[in-house]
């Protein structure tokens, strides 16, 4: 395995060639149930893995999923989540996948959460192109974890041509359930007090708590008795950054600090892969958004998921990021997201709700997120924002939403492995429709919507 000399990006600058348009892909998002649909028994869908083609068949219940009900609400509720994979089950399942894959999937403990729970990575493939997949950076956003497990199971055990190509061309490194403490509490933030941060970083004694520290009730969760941090605001493009008291409390427009063990674990993994391969080609974060966003051209249909490749300002236009300008590659991030969208639109021919894909808001600058920090370091960035967190939908629609994530990841990984991604037109990204408004209460109850609204007001 050869790597470029120090300081030279491993991925060549993409030569953008005109790509075939979306002709031939059935963009059927306007219909909730195709005329030839045949219902699959509900119990089969409930137990089918995300890799199952059964989940591509349109179902009568799809009408309920897609139809934008005027009663939709983002108000937090206590809802069942037992069908999602918890931390204990994750350990059991990763052990099984490693075993049945006969070593193709290598599982390692790469760190511990603040409360001592294992954070695992699963690595598969021997290619020079590295793709990182991270889920549950917010503990109430769970479909990504189950999609990753199904993907690892398939690529680790299948001997078909596509699986062999993935393993030959790619090194996939997945971190399912990056925030296990938050996941066990079924909430966004981790489980860590400001006092614990100060004990680990004595230089912060006397500083105001970080702006993303939760110590009072928020989105239906009692952070008063168990405070925590939004771990997805704890990243910094300076991968060697040491917490500086002058940088606190900070704002959403500022970089983070690596004060949570969960963020440090992901940073260390990213650094290690960069040292090994020269770069991390692609970084993917699997999230959820509010439950009540509608399509911009059809306010009677809900968004299934939003995607994005843009989470920070172009460093060529912002002096604070100037040192990252040479590595930042927005066109490549756009190409990756085009691959995701194409895969989902193709599946919309069978199950139209897969076509309800929009762009996440593009007018944001969040360098304290993992996506923002790693994009500035040269990685292609892909954000999934699936409909509804657990406090708004619980495990309702778990199967189809997990399948949507799986389909998008499948399309992206296949495009990278085949080299097709280099031939996609980044302008196609800009043609993906913007996310429509929320007919619920997203700005009040959805944390990302609140932060984005505050950032727009400040700007």
What mean pLDDT is predicted for residues 397-422?
97
What mean pLDDT is predicted for residues 55-81?
91
- Of 107-121, 204-218, 442-456, which range is least confident? 442-456
pLDDT bracket for residue 21 (50, 70, 90)? very low
Over pLDDT 90: what percentage of the chain?
A: 81
What mean pLDDT is predicted for residues 180-191?
98
pLDDT bracket for residue 3 (50, 70, 90)? very low
* Averaged confidence pLDDT in the chain: 90
First to last CA, the chain: 46
pLDDT bracket for residue 442 (50, 70, 90)? confident
pLDDT bracket for residue 190 (50, 70, 90)? very high
pLDDT of residue 459: 65
The angle, 0 to 180 degrees and rounded to 10, between the axes of the packed helices 330-347 and 398-418 is: 130
pLDDT of residue 91: 98
What mean pLDDT is predicted for residues 214-230?
94
pLDDT of residue 18: 32
pLDDT of residue 20: 35
Q: What is the CATH number assigned to the segment(s) 44-458?
A: 3.40.630.10
Checking if the pLDDT of 155 tops 80, the result is yes
């Amino acid at each position: 395995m050869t790597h470029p000399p120090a300081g030279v990006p491993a991925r060549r600058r993409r030569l953008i060639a005109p790509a075939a348009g979306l002709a031939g892909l059935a963009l059927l998002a306007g219909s909730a149930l195709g005329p030839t649909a045949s219902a699959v028994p509900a119990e089969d869908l409930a137990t089918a893995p995300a890799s199952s083609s059964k989940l591509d068949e349109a179902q009568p219940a799809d009408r309920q999923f897609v139809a934008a009900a005027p009663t939709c609400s983002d108000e937090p509720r206590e809802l069942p989540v037992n069908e999602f994979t918890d931390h204990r089950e994750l350990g059991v399942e990763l052990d099984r996948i490693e075993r049945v894959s006969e070593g193709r999937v290598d599982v390692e403990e790469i760190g511990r959460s603040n409360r001592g729970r294992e954070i695992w990575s699963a690595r598969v493939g021997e290619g020079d192109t590295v793709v990182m997949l991270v889920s549950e950076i917010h503990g109430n956003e769970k479909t990504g974890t189950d999609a990753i497990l199904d993907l690892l199971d398939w690529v680790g055990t299948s001997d078909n041509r596509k699986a062999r190509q993935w393993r030959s061309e790619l090194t996939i490194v997945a971190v399912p359930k990056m925030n296990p403490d938050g996941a066990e509490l079924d909430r966004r933030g981790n489980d860590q007090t400001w006092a614990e941060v100060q004990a680990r970083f004595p230089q912060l004694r006397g500083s105001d708590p970080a702006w993303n520290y939760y110590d009072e009730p928020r989105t239906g969760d009692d952070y008063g008795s168990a405070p925590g941090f939004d771990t997805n605001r704890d990243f910094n493009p300076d991968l060697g950054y040491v917490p500086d008291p002058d940088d606190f409390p900070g704002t959403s427009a500022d970089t983070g600090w690596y004060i949570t063990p969960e963020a440090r674990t992901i940073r260390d993994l990213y650094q290690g892969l960069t040292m090994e391969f020269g770069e991390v080609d692609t970084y993917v974060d699997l999230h959820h958004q509010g439950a009540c966003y509608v399509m911009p051209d059809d306010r009677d249909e809900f968004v299934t998921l939003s995607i994005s490749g843009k989470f920070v300002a172009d460093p060529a236009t912002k002096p604070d990021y100037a040192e990252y300008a040479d590595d930042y590659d927005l066109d490549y991030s756009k190409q990756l997201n085009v691959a995701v969208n194409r895969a989902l639109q193709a599946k919309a021919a069978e199950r139209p709700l897969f076509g309800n894909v929009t762009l996440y808001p593009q007018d944001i600058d969040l360098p304290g997120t993992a996506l923002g920090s790693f994009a500035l370091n040269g990685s292609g960035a892909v954000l999934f924002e699936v409909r509804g967190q657990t406090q708004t939908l619980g495990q309702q629609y778990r199967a189809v939403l997990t399948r949507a994530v799986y389909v998008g990841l499948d399309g992206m990984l296949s495009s990278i492995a085949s080299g097709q991604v280099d031939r996609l037109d980044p302008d196609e990204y800009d043609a993906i429709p913007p996310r429509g408004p929320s007919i619920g209460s997203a700005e009040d109850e959805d944390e990302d919507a609140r932060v984005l609204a505050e950032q727009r007001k400040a700007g």
